[in-house]
Amino acid sequence: MNEQFFLRCDGISDINALPQLSEKTFRETFTEDFSIAYPENDLDTYFHSSASPESFAKKLIDSKRTIWVIQDKRNDELVAYAIAGPCDDIRHPDVDLKQDEQIKALFIRRDHRNLGFGKQLMNIVLL
């Protein structure tokens, strides 16, 4: 990884930056790159319920979930993140709900794509 950036586990100090990064990368990926015309009301509801500081705080204290972030050392901004946790929302006979995990999210800011961050996050998540 470029020396300008570092990969680390998320901490409570990121509680306000994560929702901002989540909204930015979600909008870039789905509404801009994939041109999905989500109604703004739906997006607002989603961001307030699933990507709020309170929502990320719950994820941070959940011992079954882990959040990794990539941070720019120059300005301390978060540029990418990944969340892994239990397969608690997959109902399939081959899934062991007590043992199996899944990638819940992996997003990279558009202006930081193609720098190997996706690979770095995948490698750490799959350990």
List, in sequence order, every residue forming a beta bridge with 108; answer none if it has no partner. Answer: 80
How many structural domains does the chain have?
1
Q: Is residue 27 predicted with pLDDT exceeding 90?
A: yes
Q: Is residue 115 predicted with pLDDT exceeding 80?
A: yes
List, in sequence order, every residue forming a beta bridge with 78; answer none if it has no partner. Answer: 71
How far apart CA 106 and CA 69 sit, in angstroms, is 10
**pLDDT tens, position by position, 41-87:** 999 999 999 999 999 999 999 999 999 999 999 999 999 999 999 99
Query: When comparing pLDDT for 92 and 71, which is higher?
Result: 71
Q: Is residue 121 predicted with pLDDT exceeding 70?
A: yes
pLDDT at position 90, please?
83
pLDDT at position 100, please?
86
How far apart CA 27 and CA 42 sit, in angstroms, is 12
Of 125, 107, 117, nearest to 30 by C-alpha is: 107
Would residue 35 be called left, alpha or beta, if left means φ above 0 and alpha means ψ between -120 and 50 degrees?
A: left
pLDDT at position 97, please?
80
User: Which residue range is the domain that position 94 belongs to?
Assistant: 5-125
Q: pTM of this prediction? A: 0.90
How many C-beta atoms lie closer than 10 Å to residue 67's C-beta?
A: 21
Structure confidence at residue 108 as a pLDDT band (50, 70, 90): very high
How far apart CA 42 and CA 90 sit, in angstroms, is 24
All residues at 6 or more sequence positions from 96 whose CB lies less than 8 Å from its CB, including other chains: 87
How far apart CA 17 and CA 35 sit, in angstroms, is 25
How high does pLDDT run on average in the chain? 93
How many C-beta atoms lie closer than 10 Å to residue 34's C-beta?
A: 8
CATH code at position 82: 3.40.630.30
Q: Is residue 1 predicted with pLDDT exceeding 70?
A: no
